[in-house]
Structure 1
């Protein structure tokens, strides 16, 4: 995109500049440049009649292309503008600003605003109905009758309802570490993967570690691609896959330790925490733990051995249990091939000492040997 590129406006209803909403809740997040750019678009909107250059905006706003692109990106991220490219140039789609109430109903928007101006200031924007008020408002079905046969079903939405998510999280004894930051991350994941709050919560609960929900682990889980593995798994490997995919790392390690009459140590807890911090999912951690405990033949988890595997997995971007098993299988195979072959050593005894030895010397060879023997004896006796 260059200053001389052409743009036009998308046809539609005349946009309305909501002064209250833009000034109170949008500007603290977007900044003066972005809100000013939005005001420019609203003022110069012409229902798609004309074609203009971006230099017209730059001259009017008195800033360069970099500030323009940054402001435009913010406006598109907050859904105030749709920005499209065509064969003839670019198209600006102006969208109305949310009302203050609708804005604050969006958990991500609200958290961003609270970070900018504080929770106390945000609370002042919330409309509160006095407790003594009696609601006399009519429902839709109370007024519009005769349409009972129409089934109105709510559409699937990716809107992330933080309050419902939070209630479920607290009832299950789960928590976030940095709630203000991570609520925004959860909202982004719900939007990106088109998940309802409950769908996202199920994944959050599944990937939680030590009762802590970690958005990075949720993202790693969602980013797992359906993979077809050319390698065939043995019956034992299929059983292992079923186990590591249905149990968390604490359960797997605890079972192994119990079978060896031991308990999980504080160092082993820290090792699991480090693997989680490296963004490994439980199914991959489980494979590493089982392999390490099997190879080291100890009641304790060998951290040095475990972290060597973890570093290798991180470098090669191992994200699933299937990949982990195939990787460790190939590692064992290379190790086996690198070892010298163990051949049966040749006995350091003459063949004739073997009772099954058969003398196949010809008469001519025997005569030569006898002659050589006679000459050697003659030299030893001094008679040549």
Structure 2
């Protein structure tokens, strides 16, 4: 995939910044001895080659942060920055379906980005360690805790900047998503780095090898977590495909509803967790239709009252299905109430006004808008302007009035 101008400019900026900061470190700092460089670079290359691919954003994570933190404490800025850069430059992780990926078969811009990011982050936090009183070759608790957190912030900021430039997503949303996804594991891995540094200071190279085992165990535990997350995402997609197989007219509907709902939730400044719940609920909001007769779902004319009452059961059926799945329980009420009306005349429980969860009210608008602007067996799609007029006309009765106003505003930009 070719890079856009923003992504090219961003990577060029990182490369120039990395070059300048590395030159500064070479001029002002030294490496204790060549054996330390070989040893810590070897560790960095090894752990970076044990990369764990992430399922959604085309990046990966490793336990290399532990080696970065340890090498800063024991050897200072030049040792840490050089070994970190070599770790990214010479790594060869095995990626499912692609085999071993290394500098010779990786697109040049990815290598430049990876090495530049590594140099910038490691150089900046190692310099910070020294500037705030950290002693090279000795453990200084306050400077170490500072750089531990600072490294996480810098890493997520640089990655989020690249994803924003390449995908057009909002920076703060991408950044929060990255921080949420890695903060706990990064702190745990960084803490392991502190232990490795203490082992080296107290007992030398052999002790580091001894503690390398627990680091690999931490990597294995995180790998299991990612695999579980992959299974979680695959389950959601499989459930969505089940609905689409039952009702061919909803093909692509869930993905469009997800897009509209997430944009509205973000514009309405909902918390990160609420946005994530809306994202999942949007994909699964019609899962209850698997319990509805096909002849009703695919009917080419308007439904009778009896048939409509049958359709009205799908939010409750969906909520019941989801409530049995532990990792989906948080979205049960969103799915159950996405057909409630602001005036209390909706279903299944006739909630009104603020009784309706705000996430469900958002999903209602996104779902209704996509339904209106899509062809149905019994009518042609409305234009965007016609759909907006319908939303305005029903604001305060069917739809949450403030949400309608916000939705139309973001859709017009």
For normalisation by structure 2, the TM-score amounts to: 0.24
Tell which structure's C-alpha radius of gyration is larger. Answer: 1
Which structure has the highest helix share of the two?
A: 2
For normalisation by structure 1, the TM-score amounts to: 0.25
